[in-house]
Amino acid sequence: MKSARVPVPLLVPAVLGLVFLILPLVGLLARTPWATLFDRLGDPGVVTALRLSLLTSTLATVLCLVLGVPLAWLLARVTFPGRRLVRALITVPLVLPPVVGGIALLLALGRRGLVGQWLDATFGITLPFTTAAVVIAESFVALPFLVIAVEGALRGADSRYEEAAATLGSKRWTTFTHVTLPLVAPGIAAGAVLCWARALGEFGATITFAGNYPGVTQTMPLAVYQTMESGDLEGAVVLSLILLVVSVAILAGLRDRWLTAP
Amino acid sequence: MADSPVTLLDARLVVRRGEFRLDIGLRIEPGETVALLGPNGAGKTTALRALAGLAPLQDGHLVLDGRDISELPPEERPIGVVFQDYLLFPHLSARDNVAFGPRRHGMDRRSAHAVADRWLERVGLAEHGRRKPRNLSGGQAQRVALARALAVDPVLLLLDEPLAALDARTRLETRGELRRHLAAHPGATLLVTHDPLDALVLADRLVIVEEGRVVQEGDAATITARPRTDYVARLVGLNLYRGRGDGHSVAIADGLALTSTDTVEGDAFVAFPPSAVALHPHRPEGSPRNTWAAVLADVQRHGDNLRVRLDGPISVAADITPAAAAQLHLEPGRELWVAVKAAETRAYRA
Amino acid sequence: MRFAVAAGLTAGMALAGCGGGKAGEPMASGSAVTGTITVFAAASLTESFTTIGRRFEVAHPGTTVTFNFAGSSALATQINEGAPADVFAAASPKNMQAVTDAGTPATFVKNQLVIVVAKGNPKGVAGLAGLTRPDLKVALCAEAVPCGAAARTAIEASGVKVTPVTLEQDVKAALSKVKLGEVDAALVYRTDAKASAADVDAVEFPESAKAINDYPIVVLKTAKNPAGARAFVDYVLSSEAATVLTGAGFQAP
């Protein structure tokens, strides 16, 4: 880049913004008990929570892909009455505090919830306090990220390729799988990464809807919180650091492959 | 040709889009290539989309090979399309692009690839099957697009400005090759273009569309000799006027009549090429016919000559040599005398 | 004695410019304390302290009592990390000890665990042993918070093995899971059960006597409003407050 003069009114807030984002991470590193770090890493509680976090956020991403890509396609390619309303509804979990999302999930899928009641009575399935509930809570908050990213990719993709496929005898479903999906694959990948990152960091909806029990529903963010609560600040810092390192490592790994900005 | 007993495509296409209304009739016979020629916004591409099923017909009919296909979705129409910028699937190799259609028509992978290889060979790209579209040159991509459209054995082949995306040199080569493939295609072919040269070289018959309507139709010789609208006249490089014929004379403006060797009565067109126009600094002696005073509007280079536009009782284009121009002191606003040779002036019924 | 200390400190406060009461109000108006008093209190004190705070404000015009109710361990961590608290009331001495800047705490009430179940006790829970049934979903507090520690003590004392489905971050969260019907039973304080008597039933169990929580309260050394804090703690220890607390189901220390 050429060393053009950057106007001060832009430079100062920009630098402040950067410091604002980086300072807390520096704080975390500054308080890290490096001496005992490796002992704590091997702690079975840490391993359990980390494994559960990686498992649930990956499953949540898969669920979001299965539900979110068709939903994004519908929004991007089909004109139907109330489409704007549907799009607005999809973005609600983005602005909703996750705890509220958790309560809403309880009222819908909990043992006494609208659907949960029926699930319990008919199949004997109760979702709260299960690993499935963690996946559901994470999917609930992460799905909008995926839908918005994929819808954007679909809108950006040239729909005339789909017309070309139709003139070659391709039915809509085949066109979707053989033409549309490959065309928007980078957008889907970006959406999935965002979705996964959001699911990994999920706290409020999870603790409210899925509860907190080690090995079943206690993901890393919950473990961090509980460790902090119990006064073990050092432990909380170690757990936070692990979560930070794992997420940054995975995002950086994917970034080279999928998320290279144009 | 119009009386031929077999008509493969018989269509009247009526499509409304906002203020715009397309309403054209089209008939194409087996093996025939028809060019739909017209200025931008005339409705050519809309007509092509309606035929392919990508735009709904509001009225009219669409019969292909004796079957009404107007209600069929695009994927069920026996139609192949070469799109303007080809729309080769970027994630598939050239071979898979060509095999895409046969696969969708139920062919297994191996047979579809065999079909694709055969077509790639026919368009001279047997060696390039593995390449992705981004690694193909413009001309190669055009040929892959043609192979892809033909690989489904379409009854009707549609081409939307097939050469517009190519540079001048490639266009020349590809045009000749495309002509060969279109001649070999047993079905009907409709070519949409705004380039008269493409139309003249590639098509057996021209259908000229302006503002959603067919304004003229016929073979190349008829249309170039006897244009019926300003657009067509400009396309073929003629001065064209409409007036009333009375024997050898056609009255076209206040007190101005042009004399031709042809004879015509009543509503008539009169046309002559810019090269038939001579310019004089003073009223020419001798032949008083087909001369009038005009004012120079603008001069442009045109090949080795200069094309001069003149205003006056009628607006006219004249081609003169640089030597002649040097003697005339051409500058806008200058008054000149125009003389048109009667022997090069065509007059015909409107 | 109390007034003398308070007056001296209030003067200092006024110098520091953080008096929250009506400016220029003469101190001789009967209330020697002013300003905002920030109280960090265990979640189980929510209802009774809210009432006490309101009455304190009436008795001491010019004061505002603000509360932060949460699990005692969370509060202790927050205080250690520098949260601006004047008074800390914990649900167990252990959490009080965790606070490095606590003064000398005084125990103001005791609390005891009960089993809360849905109204009418549909699952017929009778005692701690009943919680071992596999068809029963049980919520406990996390061990870091006093109700969790007490639950553990009680369960160990009873010799039964209770496997909860969740470890909640404070007693109110455990209670709300019963209210929502997501769990069939939870171990919470008698006071919490009483506060929610409209929604849940309480089942007493003998082992709870082995896990009685002492509630300590203290003026923090880091208090910004030590006079107000002192006054509030004194009020909590007064007989007026005791009426409120015992009414809520607490036992006198």
Q: Please give the DSSP secondary-structure letter assigned to residue A49.
A: H
Residues of A in contact with B83 (CB under 8 A): 160, 164
Per-residue model confidence (pLDDT) at position C10 = 38
Residues of C in contact with A111 (CB under 8 A): 180-182
- Assess whether C86 and C28 both reside in one domain: yes
- Residue C15's CATH number: 3.40.190.10
Are the C-beta atoms of A121 and A143 separated by less than 8 Å? no
- Assess whether C181 and C122 both reside in one domain: yes
Bridge partner residues of C200 (DSSP): C118
3-state SS, residue C250: coil
- Assess whether C142 and C17 both reside in one domain: no
| Residue at C37 is within a domain | yes
Whole-number Å distance between alpha carbons of C33 and C20:
10
| Residue at C170 is within a domain | yes
Bridge partner residues of C213 (DSSP): C111
Q: How many residues make up chain C in this entry?
A: 253
Q: Which of A249, A247, A236, A222 is nearest to A33 (CA)?
A: A236
Percent of chain B with pLDDT strictly greater than 90: 48
| Mutation site for B-interface testing, chosen from A79, A160, A162, A168 by largest number of B Cβ within 10 Å | A168
Tell me: pLDDT of C41 over 90. yes
User: What pTM was computed for the model?
Assistant: 0.75
Backbone angles phi, psi at B140, to 5 degrees: -65, -45
Residue C108 token pair: 């103001």
- Assess whether C141 and C53 both reside in one domain: no
Encode pLDDT of B261-309 as tens digits. 888 898 888 889 888 898 888 888 876 688 888 998 888 888 888 888 8
Report, as an integer, the average pLDDT of B86-107: 95
- Assess whether C131 and C219 both reside in one domain: no
Residues of B in contact with A163 (CB under 8 A): 52, 54, 74, 87
3-state SS, residue B85: coil
Are the C-beta atoms of B317 and B296 separated by less than 8 Å? no
Could you tell me if B148 lies within 8 Å of chain A, comparing CB atoms? yes
Are the C-beta atoms of A148 and A68 separated by less than 8 Å? no
Could you tell me if B73 lies within 8 Å of chain A, comparing CB atoms? yes
| Chain B, nearest residue to A166 by Cα | B75
- Assess whether C186 and C206 both reside in one domain: yes
Domain ranges of chain B: 9-233, 243-349
Could you tell me if B152 lies within 8 Å of chain A, comparing CB atoms? yes
Provide block-wise average pLDDT over 10 residues at a time, chain A (262 residues): 74 94 90 83 85 96 96 92 92 90 92 90 90 96 94 92 95 94 91 91 92 91 85 83 85 65 43
**B89 to A161: CB separation less than 8 angstroms, yes or no:** yes
Tell me: pLDDT of C70 over 90. no
Which of C76, C137, C145 lies closest to A129 in CB terms?
C137
Element containing residue A183 per DSSP (H, E):
helix A181-200
Question: Considering its fold, how many domains does chain C have in total?
Answer: 2
**A112 to C77: CB separation less than 8 angstroms, yes or no:** no
How many Å lie between the alpha carbon of A129 and the closest alpha carbon of chain C?
A: 6
> Interface partners of A (3+ CB pairs, < 8 Å)?
B, C
Per-residue model confidence (pLDDT) at position C137 = 92
Q: Is C87 annotated as a binding residue?
A: no
Percent of chain C with pLDDT strictly greater than 70: 87
Tell me: pLDDT of C223 over 70. yes
Domain ranges of chain A: 54-212
Per-residue model confidence (pLDDT) at position B18 = 86
Tell me: pLDDT of B33 over 90. yes
Range of the domain at C25: 2-109+215-247
Residues of B in contact with A182 (CB under 8 A): 89, 91-92
First to last CA, chain A: 16
CATH number of B243-349: 2.40.50.100
Give this complex's ipTM: 0.79
3-state SS, residue A232: coil
- Assess whether C6 and C105 both reside in one domain: yes
Are the C-beta atoms of A170 and A92 separated by less than 8 Å? no
Residue B105 token pair: 């028509």
**C166 to A230: CB separation less than 8 angstroms, yes or no:** no
Counting CB pairs under 8 A, whether chains C and A reach 3 or more, is: yes
- Assess whether C190 and C95 both reside in one domain: no
Give the distance, in angstroms, between the CA of residue B303 and the centroid of all CA atoms in the same chain.
Answer: 22
Which of B53, B90, B104 lies closest to A168 in CB terms?
B104
- How big, in percent rounded to 5, are the helix, strand and coil portions of chain C? 45, 25, 35
Q: Is C72 annotated as a binding residue?
A: yes
Report, as an integer, the average pLDDT of C160-178: 90
Per-residue model confidence (pLDDT) at position A262 = 41
Band (C22; pLDDT cuts 50, 70, 90): very low
Residue A255 token pair: 């970034």
Q: How many CA atoms lie within 13 A of C149 on its CB side?
A: 16
Give the distance, in angstroms, between the CA of residue A68 and the centroid of all CA atoms in the same chain.
Answer: 12
Residue C241 token pair: 């407050």
Per-residue model confidence (pLDDT) at position A150 = 94
**Strands of the sheet with B256-272, listed across from one edge:** B239-253, B256-272, B346-349
Band (C3; pLDDT cuts 50, 70, 90): very low
Residues of A in contact with B157 (CB under 8 A): none
Tell me: pLDDT of B52 over 90. yes
> Interface partners of B (3+ CB pairs, < 8 Å)?
A
Per-residue model confidence (pLDDT) at position B2 = 45
**C74 to A129: CB separation less than 8 angstroms, yes or no:** no
Helices (H), B123-258: 138-150, 168-184, 196-202, 220-225, 230-236
More confident site: C233 or B196: C233
How many Å lie between the alpha carbon of A169 and the closest alpha carbon of chain B?
A: 4
Q: Is C68 exposed, middle or buried, given 0-12, 13-18 or 19+ CB atoms closer than 10 A?
A: middle
Element containing residue A17 per DSSP (H, E):
helix A8-30
Residues of B in contact with A160 (CB under 8 A): 83, 87
- Assess whether C219 and C207 both reside in one domain: no
Per-residue model confidence (pLDDT) at position B341 = 86
C-alpha distances in angstroms, B216 versus A258, B55, B146, B209, C46? 54, 24, 28, 7, 90
Per-residue model confidence (pLDDT) at position B4 = 47
Which of A160, A169, A178 lies closest to B75 in CB terms?
A169
Backbone angles phi, psi at C190, to 5 degrees: -55, -35
How many Å lie between the alpha carbon of B22 and the closest alpha carbon of chain A?
A: 21
| Residue at C199 is within a domain | yes
- Assess whether C7 and C34 both reside in one domain: yes
Whole-number Å distance between alpha carbons of B292 and B339:
7
**A233 to C71: CB separation less than 8 angstroms, yes or no:** no
Q: Which of C202, C199, C234, C206 is nearest to C218 (CA)?
A: C234
Whole-number Å distance between alpha carbons of B63 and B214:
19
**Chain A to chain C, count of Cβ pairs less than 8 Å apart?**
68
Amino acid at A98: P
Whole-number Å distance between alpha carbons of C67 and B200:
89
Counting CB pairs under 8 A, whether chains A and B reach 3 or more, is: yes
Per-residue model confidence (pLDDT) at position B288 = 66
CATH fold of B9-233, please? Rossmann fold (3.40.50)
- Assess whether C36 and C103 both reside in one domain: yes
Are the C-beta atoms of C206 and C58 separated by less than 8 Å? no
Q: Please give the DSSP secondary-structure letter assigned to residue A180.
A: I
Per-residue model confidence (pLDDT) at position A6 = 84
**Chain A to chain B, count of Cβ pairs less than 8 Å apart?**
60
- Assess whether C73 and C22 both reside in one domain: yes
Whole-number Å distance between alpha carbons of C236 and C218:
11
Bridge partner residues of B300 (DSSP): B307
Tell me: pLDDT of C194 over 70. yes
Lowest mean pLDDT among B31-45, B63-77, B243-257: B243-257
Give the distance, in angstroms, between the CA of residue B331 and the centroid of all CA atoms in the same chain.
Answer: 35
Interface residues of C toward A, Cβ cutoff 8 Å, are 71, 73-74, 76-77, 80-81, 95, 98, 137, 139, 142-145, 164-169, 177, 180-183
Band (C114; pLDDT cuts 50, 70, 90): very high
**C165 to A213: CB separation less than 8 angstroms, yes or no:** yes
Tell me: pLDDT of C165 over 90. yes
Q: Please give the DSSP secondary-structure letter assigned to residue C220.
A: B
**A165 to B53: CB separation less than 8 angstroms, yes or no:** no
Q: Is C238 annotated as a binding residue?
A: no
Report, as an integer, the average pLDDT of B309-328: 87
How many Å lie between the alpha carbon of A195 and the closest alpha carbon of chain B?
A: 25
Per-residue model confidence (pLDDT) at position C86 = 94
| Residue at C253 is within a domain | no
Encode pLDDT of B198-245 as tens digits. 888 899 999 999 999 999 999 888 888 888 888 888 888 888 888 898
φ/ψ region of C32 (left if φ > 0, alpha if ψ in -120 to 50, else beta) reads: alpha
Residues of B in contact with A183 (CB under 8 A): 89-91
Is the CATH code 1.10.3720.10 the one for domain A54-212? yes
Could you tell me if A158 lies within 8 Å of chain B, comparing CB atoms? yes
Q: Which of C58, C96, C56, C61 is nearest to C79 (CA)?
A: C96
Q: Which of B161, B140, B199, B185 is nearest to B82 (CA)?
A: B161
Q: Is C171 annotated as a binding residue?
A: yes
Per-residue model confidence (pLDDT) at position A3 = 55
Per-residue model confidence (pLDDT) at position C30 = 42
Report, as an integer, the average pLDDT of B171-180: 87
| Mutation site for A-interface testing, chosen from B69, B79, B89 by largest number of A Cβ within 10 Å | B89
Residue A179 token pair: 């033409």
Per-residue model confidence (pLDDT) at position C12 = 37
More confident site: A37 or B22: B22
Whole-number Å distance between alpha carbons of C56 and C66:
11
Whole-number Å distance between alpha carbons of B226 and B268:
11
